[in-house]
Amino acid sequence: MTNSREIIVVVGPTGIGKTALSLALAEVADVEIISADSRQIYRYLDIGTAKPTAEECAVAPHHFISILDPDQPYSAGEYAKDARQLIDDILKRGNLPLIVGGSGLYVRALLDGFFDEPGKDLELRAALKTRLENEGPEALHAQLAKVDPALAAKTHPNNTRRIVRALEVFELANRPITEIQKQQKNPLQIPWRRFGLNMDREKLYDRINLRVDKMIEAGLVDEIKGILERGYDPDLNSLNTVGYKEIISYFNAEISLDEAVELIKRNSRRYAKRQLTWFRAEEHTTWIDLGSDAGDLKLLAKKLLTDK
């Protein structure tokens, strides 16, 4: 069996079956599941994020599910700090922490370390956003190029959220954010094993397409309508998410519903490809190839817990 002081990490692209495997692991071990999904943390974003159902959450304790409102910001660094504390608590309870998710930055921050960037200065941020509205993104990007050329070189001018935050950090710390990030090395001290899930690309894409159809049938359009009716800004970062942004475009009469559905499928496939690229670049990952039906998950779960 797995070491009592060890952590299991399951990563992989959207739609591949990470939740199903986590539940199979819960059948053969006393696990507590820690979601590493940057969108499942938000309340009301249920169908479009493939959030575990109430029945699935009853199989084992789930953490970092529906903990924030859609307009509450949350960084990978905050996640790493909170998740590390939770891991300690789970180990004290004698259970196995099981990290499951597809947000690569969350997993990297948790395992490899995160940097302590300055806190938020709402007044400064408001001033930068006013400049953004008055001068345009190119002006702020030009300023970023002066104070942090390394970040500016890999940041598109339209990525205004990153630019504003980078300028805010520079003003607060008097150092570029890339310099602060270089000093972040504080890897998790608890042993861990990471497993990456993969399958034939066409089979994965078929699963993704089918899942999108099921999301629409389950009421994704009404879910997003309800979120907007609660007064949440459609431009929120949490809603700039595959499945949500396309339906919002439909609500804005920019595309038809059929076009929105096809875009969700296309963008989900592209997202899955990016996730695989990210996780394949991470060292110390054991890859597992699944069939289209994911095979005998309980048998696989036992194998993950016993193999070294």
pLDDT in tens, 121-177: 888 889 999 999 999 999 999 999 999 999 999 898 988 988 999 999 898 888 888
Calculate the average pLDDT of the chain: 92
- pLDDT tens-digit profile of 84-115? 999 999 999 999 999 999 999 999 999 998 76
Beta pairing partners, 33: 62, 98
Counting residues of the chain whose pLDDT is more than 90, the rounded percentage is: 75
Cβ neighbours for 131, distance < 8 A, ≥ 6 positions apart:
139, 140
Q: What is the pLDDT of residue 214?
A: 98
Are 276 and 205 spatial neighbours (Cβ–Cβ below 8 Å)?
Answer: no
pLDDT band at 116 (very low <50, low <70, confident <90, very high): low
**Fold designation for 122-181:** Histone, subunit A (1.10.20)
Among all chains, which residue has been given the structure tokens 């570029």? 176
Q: What is the pLDDT of residue 1?
A: 46
Are 14 and 268 spatial neighbours (Cβ–Cβ below 8 Å)?
Answer: yes
One-letter amino acid for residue 58 of the chain: A
Report, as an integer, the average pLDDT of 44-54: 97
DSSP H/E element including 286: strand 285-290
| In the chain, domain spans | 7-114+191-306, 122-181
β pairing state of 31-35 and 96-101? parallel
Q: What is the pLDDT of residue 292?
A: 53
> Cα-atom radius of gyration of the chain, to the nearest Å?
20
Distance CA 245, CA 242 (A): 6
Q: Say if residue 291's pLDDT is above 90.
A: no
Q: What is the pLDDT of residue 22?
A: 96
- pLDDT tens-digit profile of 66-80? 999 999 989 888 999
To the question of domain 7-114+191-306 being in CATH 3.40.50.300, the answer is yes
Prediction pTM value: 0.81
- pLDDT tens-digit profile of 183-229? 656 889 999 999 999 999 999 999 999 999 999 999 999 999 999 99
Q: What is the pLDDT of residue 184?
A: 59
One-letter amino acid for residue 20 of the chain: A
Q: What is the pLDDT of residue 77?
A: 86
Residue environment code for 22-54, b if the CB has 16+ CB neighbours within 10 A, otherwise e: bbbbbeebebbbbbbbbbbbbbbbbbbbbbbee
Distance CA 169, CA 115 (A): 12
Are 133 and 97 spatial neighbours (Cβ–Cβ below 8 Å)?
Answer: no
Q: What is the pLDDT of residue 273?
A: 96
Q: 2-11, 12-21, 250-259, 272-281: which range is least confident on average?
A: 2-11
Q: 7-16, 127-136, 151-160, 298-307: which range is least confident on average?
A: 298-307
Among all chains, which residue has been given the structure tokens 């930068």? 128
Q: What is the pLDDT of residue 256?
A: 98
pLDDT band at 295 (very low <50, low <70, confident <90, very high): low
